[in-house]
């Protein structure tokens, strides 16, 4: 065994681990990074990048078949599913150099392509290396959760990790799970010409505001996705030429099965007990500064048991660098973390939903609503199905829900508003190019002030008085 010492040991080369390693190394800290699998982690190789590439292909196919409303003849797209997967692979390949071992070694990071396992609270074994570190960051991410469904282990099924290996287009894709991954892939495959059935044990998009989720689910049904909510899967079987899923008393038959019922933190083989690192079923237990029960060890990203998003891992990484390198106090602020689901229309959220805001603030909260149908750009693009809803307390937004075209882009402004504690007057005072979807944010802020200005008799009296005195 080779014994090594370092200032910072990072376990996992996903988005969070890479951000910590790069930031620390460029500040002169000795960093060792452990990764037994692919650099870039799930986001690059199995999640965000490939799914958005597939969605982009599906959008092109959908536009071809729905062009007549714009005065262009609709045509039935000829989908080459293998070529679609080539596009997915090319997208990954173009981004991969940014996450490569060579790039991070250029920053001064020592990369060891081995898994890490705690031997003690300060020692981690990685292959032939035993590493002692002053600080350790666990960033091992998550993997698809596989539910204990009778018969599932006996049939071939897909997850977000294996879907990208398909070369033939599924004839009929069965999807277990009505969350973001399940619905994104369901709609994309429907637009690529597959029959698609989604089976969800509870309510689809259950984390989202029901009013906003309903807009997405209606569109999916309109496009031909068979969506069965409140249908718990009872068993899965395989016949000579199909896979059958029995749920809610119904039997669904398809050619392929995608399991998308959430993700589980990667904790096994880490030896966390020897590291004195406590865990729960949700992940590693951390305090508000992302420290574990072992004060030398941090956990970030999916493995920390919170929201499982790439941007959250990046946010965690920035906090850990500040604390581990400079001793600065840090605190995770869950209320400023946005999320988005990239169906069409998109759905996005930051801060409190309407129900959460009413529960927390009662009569003090104001709900400001603005439909997309009032936006000129959305009308011109025939994408006016959508809604903005912002929850306001004492002139400051405390949450925003958006469903519609570019919801994932629009939510960024409200994430900034919550992070910087901006007032609605700050949003109303900005100038936005016309015509853009982004005007919706400014117009919603104007909607908040309209009754205060135009329906207030005192304001009208003051205005008339001032007019009499003006030259």
CA-closest candidate to residue 96, choices 33, 42, 16, 40: 40
Q: How many CB atoms lie within 10 A of CB 89?
A: 13
If one counts the domains in the chain, the total is: 3
CA-closest candidate to residue 343, choices 78, 59, 145: 59
Q: How many separate helices (H) and strands (E) can be counted in the chain?
A: 14, 23
- CA-to-CA distance for 256 and 164, rounded, in angstroms? 13
In a domain, 134, yes or no: yes
Q: In terms of domains, do 258 and 178 share one?
A: yes
Parent domain of 343: 336-454
pLDDT at residue 438, rounded to an integer: 96
- CA-to-CA distance for 254 and 170, rounded, in angstroms? 9
Contact 260, 188 (CB under 8 A): no
Contact 411, 402 (CB under 8 A): yes
In a domain, 73, yes or no: no
Q: What is the pLDDT tens value at each position of the chain, 471 positions in all?
A: 799 999 999 999 999 999 999 999 999 999 999 999 999 999 999 999 999 999 999 999 999 999 999 999 999 999 999 999 999 999 999 999 999 999 999 999 999 999 999 999 999 999 999 999 999 999 999 999 999 999 999 999 999 999 999 999 999 999 999 999 999 999 999 999 999 999 999 999 999 999 999 999 999 999 999 999 999 999 999 988 899 999 988 999 999 999 999 999 999 899 999 999 999 989 999 999 999 999 999 999 999 998 899 999 999 999 999 999 999 999 999 999 999 999 999 999 999 999 999 999 999 999 999 999 989 999 999 999 999 999 999 999 999 999 999 999 999 999 999 999 999 999 999 999 999 999 999 999 999 987 665 556 565 565 566 666 777
Q: In terms of domains, do 290 and 403 share one?
A: no
pLDDT at residue 420, rounded to an integer: 97
| Domain closes at, from 286, 313, 332 | 332
Which positions make up the binding site for FAD?
Answer: 52, 116, 140-142, 302
The pair phi, psi for residue 234, each rounded to 5°, is -100, -40
In a domain, 176, yes or no: yes
Beta-carbon contacts of 265 under 8 Å, excluding residues fewer than 6 positions away, are 140, 141, 142, 282, 283, 284, 302, 303, 304, 305
The pair phi, psi for residue 168, each rounded to 5°, is -105, 140
pTM of the model: 0.93
* Helices 439-454, 457-469: inter-axial angle, 10-degree rounding: 80
CA-closest candidate to residue 268, choices 153, 129, 118: 118
Q: In terms of domains, do 118 and 195 share one?
A: no
Q: In terms of domains, do 313 and 419 share one?
A: no
pLDDT at residue 460, rounded to an integer: 57
In a domain, 23, yes or no: yes
The enclosing domain of 204 has a CATH number of 3.50.50.60
204-240 per-residue burial string, b: 16 or more CB within 10 A, e: under 16: bbeebbeebbebbbebbeeeebbbbbebebeebbeee
In a domain, 229, yes or no: yes
pLDDT at residue 309, rounded to an integer: 93
pLDDT at residue 240, rounded to an integer: 86
Q: In terms of domains, do 414 and 388 share one?
A: yes
* Helices 15-25, 310-326: inter-axial angle, 10-degree rounding: 30
Which positions make up the binding site?
Answer: 52, 116, 140-142, 177-184, 200, 262, 302
Which positions make up the binding site for NAD(+)?
Answer: 177-184, 200, 262
Q: In terms of domains, do 133 and 31 share one?
A: yes
Q: In terms of domains, do 137 and 275 share one?
A: yes
Q: In terms of domains, do 201 and 251 share one?
A: yes
Contact 100, 38 (CB under 8 A): no
pLDDT at residue 103, rounded to an integer: 97
Q: In terms of domains, do 242 and 354 share one?
A: no
User: Residue 78 burial (CB < 10 Å; 0-12/13-18/19+)?
Assistant: exposed
In a domain, 253, yes or no: yes
Q: In terms of domains, do 162 and 134 share one?
A: no
Query: Tokens representing 181?
Result: 């991954």
Query: Tokens representing 5?
Result: 């010492």
Q: In terms of domains, do 140 and 28 share one?
A: yes
In a domain, 440, yes or no: yes
Q: In terms of domains, do 157 and 128 share one?
A: no
In a domain, 467, yes or no: no
The enclosing domain of 408 has a CATH number of 3.30.390.30
């Amino acid at each position: 065994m080779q014994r090594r010492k370092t200032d910072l040991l990072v376990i996992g080369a996903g988005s969070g681990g890479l951000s910590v390693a790069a930031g620390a190394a460029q500040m002169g800290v000795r960093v060792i990074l452990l990764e037994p699998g692919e650099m870039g982690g799930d986001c690059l190789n199995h999640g965000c990048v490939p799914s958005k590439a597939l969605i982009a292909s599906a959008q092109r196919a959908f536009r071809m078949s729905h062009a007549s409303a714009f005065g262009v003849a609709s045509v039935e797209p000829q989908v080459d599913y293998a070529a679609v997967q080539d596009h997915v692979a090319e997208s990954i390949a173009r981004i991969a150099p940014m996450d490569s071992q060579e790039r991070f070694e250029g920053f001064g990071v020592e990369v060891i392509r081995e898994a890490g396992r705690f031997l003690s609270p300060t020692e981690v074994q990685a292959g032939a290396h035993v590493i002692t570190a002053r600080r350790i960051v666990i960033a091992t991410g998550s993997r698809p959760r596989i539910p204990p469904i009778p018969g599932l282990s006996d049939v071939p099924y897909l997850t977000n990790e294996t879907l990208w290996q398909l070369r033939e287009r599924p004839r009929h894709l069965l999807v277990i799970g009505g969350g973001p991954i399940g619905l994104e892939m369901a709609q994309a495959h429907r637009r690529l010409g597959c029959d698609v059935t989604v089976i969800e044990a509870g309510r689809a998009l259950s984390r989202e505001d029901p009013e906003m989720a309903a807009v997405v689910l209606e569109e999916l049904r309109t496009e031909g996705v068979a969506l069965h909510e409140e249908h718990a899967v009872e068993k899965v079987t395989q016949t000579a030429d199909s896979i059958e899923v029995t749920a809610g008393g119904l039997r669904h038959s398809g050619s392929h099965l995608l399991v998308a019922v959430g993700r589980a933190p990667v904790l096994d083989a880490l030896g966390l007990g020897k590291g004195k690192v406590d865990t729960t079923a949700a992940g590693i237990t951390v305090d508000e500064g992302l420290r574990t029960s072992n004060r030398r060890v941090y956990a970030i990203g999916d493995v920390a048991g919170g929201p499982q998003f790439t941007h959250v891992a990046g946010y965690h990484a920035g906090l850990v660098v500040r604390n581990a390198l400079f001793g600065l106090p840090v605190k995770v602020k869950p209320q400023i973390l946005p999320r988005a689901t990239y169906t069409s229309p998109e759905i996005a959220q930051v801060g409190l939903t309407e129900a959460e805001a009413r529960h927390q603030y009662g009569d003090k909260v104001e709900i400001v609503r603005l439909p997309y149908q009032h936006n000129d750009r959305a009308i011109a693009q025939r994408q006016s199905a959508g809604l903005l809803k912002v929850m306001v307390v004492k002139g400051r937004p405390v949450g925003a829900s958006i469903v519609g075209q570019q919801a994932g882009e629009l939510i960024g402004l409200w994430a900034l508003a919550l992070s910087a504690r901006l007032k609605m007057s700050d949003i109303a005072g900005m100038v936005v190019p016309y015509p853009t979807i982004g005007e919706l944010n400014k117009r919603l802020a104007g909607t908040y002030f309209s009754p205060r200005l135009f329906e207030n008799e005192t304001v009208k009296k003051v205005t008339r008085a001032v007019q009499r005195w003006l030259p």
